[in-house]
Amino acid sequence: MGTAGAAATLPGPAPLVCATRRVEASLAGSGDTARANALLLLAAALDGHPATDALADTAVLPADNAAPPPVCGNLELRPALSATAALMADARLSLLNARKNEAMRALLQTAGWQWAVAMLLGLLLLKWSRSRVTPAVGIAVSLALWAAAAWAGRVPWPFSGTRSFELARLGAAWWSPPAAFVIVLAGVAMGLLLLSRARRHGAVPAAQAMSSRLGYPGLVCATGLGWLLLLDLSARAHMGNRYLALYHQGHLWLAMTVLCVMLFLRQPLARGLA
């Protein structure tokens, strides 16, 4: 009576409690393989792993011979594990979406300024790349500036998976520490600056003339129109589109970073290809 009462009054969602109690009961009997499978599947369910449902249907699991806890009702071990995995996946997704919602609301307030600063920063680096600056120095300054821009704008890392979301500044406060990718970019920039100091006697690049008066203005217009469209879709369209502008923020930052790095590699690449 005491065990049944504890199971019945145990707080928590019914699938989670049922799966836990059934796995606990299975540890007293069955073979080692079945018990190990039950424990591994329970761990996968607690992690919200999407493969839990398929594995639970094919894995060797302990037989449901013991009387089920009252909280289980007619729910057996396999469907309990599947339901627990779905429940935990939804819980993790809700936390992830809460962070995205907060970042999206902040982006809608500052999107115009962020785009304008990004375009201005790209223009300044474009003009500087036409001078006699060495590639190492130019790339180092570009990486340092775009790392600082990512930190200031809380840009999301564009290569985050579906189950993760990493902003360049961990908190909304300005004294919040930077994310790992910002620190890595700053470290690479510092290393390139030290390398350029050690090789000060290398060949000085030739100054470059403007090749097109429409290239960069065209980029500004294209990114600006795309920025406005995605912001409108995020704010007014279907709920499934609500994070489009947030993802585009990271992609735009990455594209501008790569563009500015390539500006200082034009002459070395041209010599290598020739």
Number of domains comprising the chain = 2
Cα–Cα distance list, 152 to 18, 113, 129, 182 (Å): 47, 12, 24, 11
Instruction: Quickly state the pLDDT bin for 142 (edges 50, 70, 90).
Output: very high
84 within some domain: no
Same domain (yes/no): 107, 218 = yes
Instruction: Quickly state the pLDDT bin for 2 (edges 50, 70, 90).
Output: very low
* Residue finishing a domain among 20, 41, 75: 75
Q: Which of 3-12, 114-123, 130-139 has the highest mean pLDDT?
A: 114-123
Same domain (yes/no): 256, 194 = yes
* Residue finishing a domain among 75, 108, 127: 75
Contact 251, 115 (CB under 8 A): no
Same domain (yes/no): 188, 132 = yes
94 within some domain: no
Same domain (yes/no): 106, 169 = yes
pTM of the model: 0.69
240 within some domain: yes
Q: Which of 14-23, 25-34, 98-107, 159-168 has the highest mean pLDDT?
A: 98-107
Collect all residues with Cβ–Cβ distance below 8 Å to 18 and sequence separation of at least 6.
68, 69, 71, 72, 75, 80
Same domain (yes/no): 234, 129 = yes
Contact 216, 123 (CB under 8 A): yes
Residue 264 has pLDDT above 80, yes or no: yes
Mean pLDDT of 79-91: 77
220 within some domain: yes
248 within some domain: yes
Residue 140 has pLDDT above 50, yes or no: yes
Measured CA angle at 156 (ends 250, 52), to 5 deg: 115
124 within some domain: yes
Residue 96 has pLDDT above 60, yes or no: yes
Collect all residues with Cβ–Cβ distance below 8 Å to 142 and sequence separation of at least 6.
125, 257, 260, 261, 263, 264
Instruction: Quickly state the pLDDT bin for 88 (edges 50, 70, 90).
Output: confident
Domain encompassing residue 49? 2-75
115 within some domain: yes
Angle separating helix axes 14-26 and 32-47, nearest 10 degrees: 160
Same domain (yes/no): 44, 111 = no
Alpha helix positions (H), the chain: 2-9, 14-26, 32-47, 52-58, 77-129, 135-153, 180-198, 215-236, 244-263, 266-273
Q: Give the HSE-up count for residue 227: Cα atoms under 13 Å, Cβ half-sphere.
A: 22
What per-residue confidence (pLDDT) applies to 69? 65
Q: Which residue has the higher pLDDT, 242 or 93?
A: 242
Same domain (yes/no): 133, 238 = yes
Same domain (yes/no): 197, 65 = no
What per-residue confidence (pLDDT) applies to 3? 42
Same domain (yes/no): 137, 8 = no
What per-residue confidence (pLDDT) applies to 12? 66
Same domain (yes/no): 110, 47 = no
Same domain (yes/no): 130, 40 = no
Mean pLDDT of 72-95: 75
* Residue finishing a domain among 32, 60, 75: 75
142 within some domain: yes
Same domain (yes/no): 14, 125 = no
Mean pLDDT of 151-164: 83
